[in-house]
Structure 1
Amino acid sequence: MLQAERRHNILKQLQTSGTVYIEQLATQYNVSTMTVRRDLAALEEEGKLIRSHGGAVLPESLTQEVPYQTKLSSYTAEKEQIAKKAVELIPDQARILLDSGTTNLEIAKLLKSRDDLLIVTNDAKISIELLHSDCKVISTGGELQKDVGAFIGTHVQELLRQIKVDIVFIGANAVHLTEGISTPTLEKSYIKKLMLKNASSKWIVADHSKFNKRSFAHVCDFDEVNGIITDDQIDAHTKEQLHQVTNVY
């Protein structure tokens, strides 16, 4: 296969899957990994992809912040499925930290009928959902992120530094097999890092649409969490690769 044809096919494959991997491309096209690296470097110079550790992604694949109402109506059944799996991991009398996001909102809906939990959250909608719960609920307060519903700012950070919880559920904007978990802003990344630091058990909650994507600010790698809770729509190849680096529930 000619170089130009191979690079054209790599781009087509990238546009279909969103991510390509050097080792797989080398095997697929029967060339050396160095040849693939040169292909990816040339395509990056043309602005057609962004090289990442072990492969490449499309330039437009960096995920951005999504308004709350848009997220609320997206992948609802999948988020409900994730929530049911998540609550199975919560022991009696647990201290829980629920990160902002609509997947964790579904977890809150399942927890509000209990009376034995302490729940901390930086999400306005989750706080309201738990308004009449018999659980003890602590809202971080802080600056309310417009159209998103998350509390951010130094007030949130200071509170998170002072607490220890049994389990945290971290929402993920993007999950990438080689680059870990990421989020659109440095501030939200820092808040999620604080949440992870101060929890004994750490879980990422993400529906299948978040996989094979990257966002601006790195949150953590897979070896920093107990595992990922996702839905049954995740493709078999991605799930198999995930099992090699973390627990998948």
Structure 2
Amino acid sequence: MTPSQRRKDITSHVHATGKVDIEQLSEMFHVSPMTVRRDLVLLEQDGKLIRTHGGAVSPRSLTLETPFISKETKHVTEKRAISKKAVQMIPEGASILLDSGTTTLELARHLVNRKDLTVITNDINLASEMVNSALHVIVTGGDLQNNVGALLGAQTQEFLRSIHVDRFFLGAHAIDLHAGVTSPTLEKSMVKKLMMEAAEETWLLADSSKIHHKAFSKVCALQDLDGFITDDRVSKEEVRLIEQQVKTFFVEGG
């Protein structure tokens, strides 16, 4: 088999299965792992796949970043119900960390009448919602992600390493019942992980449309969370699998 044909077959296999690992491909095509790695580098350069640790995935199997304006108006009823429940998790005088996202944006909107909280966020959209409130609002700083509103980068990470808060409300781009919470980029996952490390408790806020999706970079397993608030538009089997892993509240989705 020529290298060109081998790479075509690797591409077909990745698209058919969603993901592959280097050892598997090495055995399948009777070549060394180093040869497979070189093939994966070339195929990634051509946009045929995305390399991961130990293998590769099909670009079609991943959920990509969505601009803020495209997702703000989706599943609004569910996001509002989730945020109302999340408010009940915030004790008086608490310090809380809000992740970037449209579900946490709804939570920020529910907090504007409170005066007893310190709220830290890495999202300029959330900060803007709280600008006329009596809340003590702190913005992490960092590099602005255009069309999304998130702040990322070295400055954001340095700030997060220097704080400690009572609650972190994590937003999710994609949730898989086995792979856990995933994010479109390594940089975004790093910020989310640092937020988790900075908090006594981490609660995931995400509507059920995020379930059964995967993105490129892993944030955490569901077992790593202290709680999960989602809507009730899930099957009995999904409820069972989720509750086996994390304390969960299923709010009425409207």
* TM more than 0.5: yes
Cα displacement (A) at 1:45:
2.6
Q: Distance in 2 between matches of 1:59 and 1:191?
A: 23
Q: Distance in 1 between matches of 2:199 and 2:235?
A: 30
What is the total number of aligned residue pairs between the two structures? 205
* Paired residues for 1:1-80 under 5 Å: 45=13, 47-50=15-18, 60-80=60-80
Aligned to 2:243: 243
Q: Distance in 2 between matches of 1:165 and 1:96?
A: 6
8 Å contact 2:18–2:61 — kept in the other structure? no
Cα displacement (A) at 1:104:
0.2
Query: Residue 166 of structure 2: SS of its match in structure 1?
Result: strand
Cα displacement (A) at 1:58:
8.2
Letter in 2 for 1:79: K
Deviates most, 207-216 or 57-66: 57-66
**Percent sequence identity over matched residues?**
43
81 and 61 in structure 1: CA distance in 2 versus 1, 3 angstrom threshold: farther
Q: Does 1:162 align with 2:162?
A: yes
Gaps of 5+ in 2: 1-11, 21-56, 250-254
Aligned to 2:221: 221
8 Å contact 1:141–1:156 — kept in the other structure? yes
Aligned to 2:53: none
Aligned to 2:231: 231
Q: Distance in 2 between matches of 1:181 and 1:103?
A: 15
8 Å contact 2:15–2:58 — kept in the other structure? no
Cα displacement (A) at 1:234:
2.4
Measured against aligned partners, the alpha-carbon deviations of 1:42-66 in whole angstroms (never above 9, x if no partner) come to xx837322259xxxx9862311000
Aligned to 1:153: 153
Cα displacement (A) at 1:237:
1.9
8 Å contact 1:172–1:182 — kept in the other structure? yes
Letter in 1 for 2:213: K
| Runs ≥4 residues deviating over 6 A | none
Q: Distance in 2 between matches of 1:174 and 1:158?
A: 26
Aligned to 2:110: 110
* Paired residues for 1:50-199 under 5 Å: 50=18, 60-199=60-199
Query: Residue 201 of structure 2: SS of its match in structure 1?
Result: strand
Letter in 1 for 2:211: F
Question: With structure 2 as the length reference, what TM-score do the two structures score?
Answer: 0.77
Letter in 1 for 2:61: S
Deviates most, 235-244 or 205-214: 235-244
Letter in 2 for 1:78: E
Cα displacement (A) at 1:110:
0.5
Q: Distance in 1 between matches of 2:207 and 2:17?
A: 25
8 Å contact 2:108–2:130 — kept in the other structure? yes
8 Å contact 1:48–1:59 — kept in the other structure? no
Cα displacement (A) at 1:228:
1.1
Q: Distance in 1 between matches of 2:14 and 2:64?
A: 23
Aligned to 1:15: none
Alpha-carbon RMSD across the aligned residues, in angstroms, is 2.0
Query: Residue 219 of structure 2: SS of its match in structure 1?
Result: strand
Measured against aligned partners, the alpha-carbon deviations of 1:5-24 in whole angstroms (never above 9, x if no partner) come to xxxxxxxxxxxxxxxxxxxx
Aligned to 1:202: 202
Letter in 2 for 1:48: A
